Amino acid sequence: MALRTKRSVWRLLFRSAFSLGFLWLAAITLHRLSFGSPPTHVRVFSVVDMSVLQQPQQHQYRNGYHPWNSAPEEHTYTPDGLLIVNPNGPHPIFELIRNAENEWNAKLQRASKTLEEAVVEYERRYKRPPPLGFDKWWDYVVKHDVLLPDEYDEIYYDLEPYWGLHPEDLAASERELEERDDIIVVAKTPESDKLEIVRTTVKGNPTAFLVRISDILNLLEEVEHDLPPLRMSFSPHDNPNMLSDWRIKSMVMNAAKRGTTVRQKDFPPIHTVGWAQGCQPSTPARVKRPPLPALPPHAYEPQFNTSAPKTFIASHRATMDPCAHPSLLVTHGQFLSHYAGPYPQKTLVPRFSLCATQLHHDIRPPVPYGWVSGLDLEEHGDVPWEEKIDERLDWRGSNTGLYASSNTPWSYAQRARLVSLANSVIGNVSILPVPEDENTKVGEPEEVRLARVNPAWMDVAFVGGAIMCDEKGGTCKEMEKMWEFRRSQGRKEEGRYKFILDVDGNGWSGRFKRLMTTNSLIFKATIYPEWYTSRIAPWVHYVPIQVSYTDLYDAVAFFRTHDDLAKRIASEGRAWSMRFWRKEDMSAYLYRLFLEYARVSSMDRDAMSYKGSSTVGEEDL
């Protein structure tokens, strides 16, 4: 077992290197001898020499470590959401899966079963009563069998800052917002039973944008007559842009915690540009901000610090925080598109947007864009796990993320880096060995040449041609020389892959629902918490990946080896999508979000609170 542990990466590469004929049969033979998973059919005939497998290398272990000297030790968990790998511990993914399953099962078990229990849990979490109409919302939840009725913390994250702003200033901010460009105003008046689009400042032909917002509102057709009067402004674009100033946000959050409000006139003036202004002064983004990529941009060359400790995501939401992980500011198009960053907003601006980072105070509704049913995918070619013949990691998409020109560091954005990394034949990547079980120490990472691992493990490419680029300035041609742009994949072709990666584009990923509804195992790298973030479990339903991709090859290696665990998470992910991401689940979220916003935007917030029975006592608050 020890010999297998140290040679696992090389064995994986060998098994995935042959496609047809004698070499394919040889790989099958190796598979049977080593009780591994079947090889991937790739058009590469020689990735690892036979001698690598026949002559095990002598490995010099650090600090006297040897993988079978003693029982595995513990890994380290950090406040910023990461697990730091201890080479003397088990492979961390075993532990991450087990912990996530336990937490998910506990969440399911403690869910409220009655309205009274839901009220008590609401008051325990948020230190105030639920909004007016909470009982009717509960009726909807019961009628449509919506699970996890307590898990709506994303609404709290979005609206809690507004509780600290005086209602008159919030109303003034809403009026000012309605006059800005590219705004779609939605209202429900006392005289109407329906939510209606009453105004738009979108330039040109706004039809497509209006349809996008209408699709969101249509989620509430069954219950919109029960909503109180309210007025909201929506952005139809992919990106958020309501950057918070940390000083202002801390003022309103502290006021909300005290149950008081502050006035806008007391906010400090805004005079400093930059993303880091949204962060507390003591956070890494303010203390040790990474340098911005040089302009004009040059080709991104994959370079991992192979001497750094390996890390994995333990809390996906925590790792999306740019204040704790400032590398996000120089590796994601959301931030690189503004380079140093914009000025923060001078106050809180209650704009509803399709997504938001933790630096923004945009309010996030559920977005039905890209929603599919399981039947849709079965009809278009998705197949059971056992019939998926390709074990490479699959990704196709366009080069979105930011506008590419000589004035933007486009080669460092998330999609550009992914395609460059997955197709590179220069440099090395360090990969953790994959033991057969969690009773064996994982050991030190092994360095492998990208020229060997990429053809065998990765099938990643842009499609079509270069878009969102400066054609006159030559950037489009530069991109098409840098990367191969392939044809798009059909659903049937995509269905062949066991492993599919989901990454952000210009904003949140509109394909995640579709991917989660397939029988494939989904890997996801993102900076955007979404409406379902508190209602899904990474490592139970999908595989979380850092935006740096430093853990990507390790995760692929693990799940290629442990096909049973890969199949289990893929199956659980699909079941989650079918059970927790129905249209009724989005409707329940949007219904509760609008009830909450109607209250916080009211001049009499107390009158807009639910006065039903509750057994919560002062000692519980």
Structure confidence at residue 302 as a pLDDT band (50, 70, 90): confident
Query: How many whole angstroms separate alpha carbon 155 and alpha carbon 596?
Result: 8
How would you list the strands of the sheet with 76-77, edge to edge? 76-77, 82-84, 311-313
pLDDT for position 299: 78
Helix (H) or strand (E) holding 121: helix 115-126
pLDDT for position 15: 52
Domain segments of the chain: what residues?
155-365+584-606, 378-582
**Range with lowest mean pLDDT among 289-298, 398-407, 606-615:** 606-615
pLDDT for position 317: 99
Tens digits of residue pLDDT in 73-132:
999 999 999 999 999 999 999 999 999 999 999 999 999 999 999 999 999 999 999 999
Structure confidence at residue 266 as a pLDDT band (50, 70, 90): very high
Q: What is the CATH number of domain 378-582?
A: 3.40.50
Tens digits of residue pLDDT in 517-567:
999 999 999 999 999 999 999 999 999 999 999 999 999 999 999 999 999
The answer to whether residues 410 and 37 touch, using CB atoms and an 8 Å cutoff, is no
The answer to whether residues 322 and 240 touch, using CB atoms and an 8 Å cutoff, is no
Q: Which long-range contacts (CB under 8 A, 24 or more apart) does 449-454 make?
A: 449/425, 450/302, 450/421, 450/424, 450/425, 450/426, 451/425, 451/426, 452/13, 452/47, 452/48, 453/13, 453/47, 453/429, 453/553, 454/422, 454/423, 454/424, 454/425
As a whole number of angstroms, the longest Cα–Cα distance in the chain is: 81
pTM here is 0.89
